[in-house]
Amino acid sequence: MDRKTELDLIDELLALKSAKTAFLDEDVRHNPMDHYTSPVRFEHERERIFRTLPVAAAHSSEISGPGDFVRRDIAGSPAIITRDKNGQPHALFNVCRHRGARLVQDEKGCKHRFTCPYHAWTYANSGELLAAPHFAQGFPGLDKSDIGLARLPCAERFGFVWVSPRQDAGLDLDVLLDGLTPDLEALKLDDMVIAAQETNVRQANWKILIEGGIEAYHFRVAHRHTIGPHFEDNLSSYRSFGPHLRSVLPRTSMSKLSETNREDWCLRDHANILYTLFPSSQLLVMQDHIVWIKTEPVSADATRVTLATLAPRAQADETAHWHRNHVITSTTLAEDFVIGEGIQAGAPSGANRHVLFGRFEGALGTFNRTVEGYLDP
């Protein structure tokens, strides 16, 4: 973000703190409980949102060199993200064009060509069909150049490879990220590497897990044994950028900034900044590193969650430091996720027909209005 925005955000939070109030929306919101439990609604969300909108599929450091690849699930479709000999990324379906066998079993690796385990059809890591046994005899009239691996639109920017789940869609990141490009450029994500990573399946709807991170109302209670004492009680702010959100969660140290030289103020030193990149990625920006939180819906009541701690490339060898910070974040988010699983378990009981979002939980209402907008455009 630019310097003026940074100072404005600090000023805003200091003013709220001084006035002993919170960042308030106009109204309380009621969100129906079946939005978190209905399989029919879930399929509607998957079709209208996750099978429509581009996502950050891989961090650039995961395929840093020619031949590197990672295996991914893109809205239920098996895919591999590759980097060719010229350094260009590709998003390819992990499906052989002959009989549809899975081409790549490994989660990641380095290969310049992929050979199908069924009949040895062999493809370049850029997708072209290179060879197939007895091809001329068995497939007369077919041209190898017409039956390379099916591909998805992809683009590399801000340290990520972005992939559209629709083969027929374009991919304009300036349009997709809708005003957040200056913020993302300033984060220098392309100069970071994954220092620690974990993936777990949580028994909760994807929206519950995202909602748990975009308000500070719960910090002093849910995180009382971890980060709670270091953050202001029920104080945060947020802004919308199209479907995306930027939330600022101030630490208690921010209140002392008014006693210091304004020219020395730095938001990252005194707050966590959380970018919610709709629909499935969040970037938790901390003082010296960033955590990429990726949520992938599995069903109405299950979500695959990946946490990846991104460290500056120049300090990547400080493994103990990054591991320690990863554990702190993982432990803290696990507190949220366990509560989220409890919400999911109680949702079918009928005790609540809806959940409540208070005026200081406005980001949750905004996030859910965005979901509704894609379901009923």
Q: Which domains does the chain have, with CATH numbers?
A: 3-53+175-375 (3.90.380.10), 55-170 (2.102.10.10)
CB 266 within 8 A of CB 253: no
CB 254 within 8 A of CB 13: yes
Q: What are phi and psi of 33, to 5 degrees?
A: -65, -30
CB 151 within 8 A of CB 97: no
CB 231 within 8 A of CB 249: yes
CB 267 within 8 A of CB 284: no
pLDDT reported for residue 181? 94
Residue among 99, 92, 88, 96 at smallest CA distance from 115: 96
CB 208 within 8 A of CB 36: yes
pTM of the model: 0.95
What span, in angstroms and rounded, lies between the C-alpha atoms of 63 and 59?
Answer: 8
pLDDT reported for residue 376? 86
pLDDT reported for residue 82? 99
Consecutive 10-residue averages of pLDDT for the chain (377 residues): 95 96 94 98 97 97 98 96 98 98 97 98 98 97 96 97 93 90 96 98 98 96 96 97 98 94 96 97 98 98 98 96 97 98 97 96 97 91
Name the DSSP letter for residue 239.
E
> How many CB atoms lie under 10 A from the CB of residue 164?
23
Q: Counting beta carbons within 10 angstroms of the beta carbon of residue 372, is it exposed (0 to 12), middle (13 to 18) or buried (19 or more)?
A: exposed
Residue among 287, 333, 286, 328 at smallest CA distance from 306: 333
pLDDT reported for residue 377? 67
pLDDT reported for residue 96? 99
- Residue 147's contacts (CB-CB under 8 Å, 6 or more residues apart) are 97, 129
What span, in angstroms and rounded, lies between the C-alpha atoms of 167 and 154?
Answer: 10
pLDDT reported for residue 170? 83
> Three-state SS for 194?
strand
Q: Which run of H or of E encompasses 250?
A: strand 244-250
What span, in angstroms and rounded, lies between the C-alpha atoms of 60 and 46?
Answer: 26
